[in-house]
Amino acid sequence: MRIPPLIIFTVPVLLGWVAAGFGVVGDDPMTGQVLFASALFLSGIIFMGVAVFGFKMKRTTVDPIRPEAASALVTNGIYAISRNPMYVGMAACSIGVCVFFGLWVGLAMAVIAVAYITQFQIKPEEKVLTKIFGKDYSDYRQNVRRWL
């Protein structure tokens, strides 16, 4: 994949904003909506930060465009919960922003972005990582979910 995942998860927010007429759909979002959206966004930031830290601790690349540059298989910490916590974090942030601002078209697009990332980013990454790490990665795939 040549489009960075961060761009893919930014598109739903932008499309939602355009669909809302470059504004916010709801003038007065409900408290529950704001709390839920804020929790999603904060969780996403935490997931991404912890995931990047895990890669840095193992001194391997975080570049999603070049999975073949991976030098270590990270399976501990947050990677014991999800094989793709960076993408989980990006999706949570994208969905959180859309919910917060009432960008319902963007929310629908975020779901499409998750499907797109799965098909065109994660699955190709999995093939590369299987070639690099062999049985260790195959075992990891069997024990840890792709998303959550």
- The string of pLDDT tens digits covering residues 98-111 is 988 888 888 899 99
The one-letter code for the residue type at 97 is V
Name the residue with higher pLDDT: 106 or 89: 89
Share of the chain above pLDDT 90, in %: 73
First CA to last CA across the chain, in angstroms?
22
> How do the domains of the chain map onto residue ranges?
31-59+72-143
Q: Each residue of 40-55: pLDDT tens digit? A: 999 999 999 999 999 9
Q: Are 112 and 12 in contact (CB under 8 A)?
A: yes
Per-residue pLDDT, 56: 97
pTM above 0.85, yes or no: yes
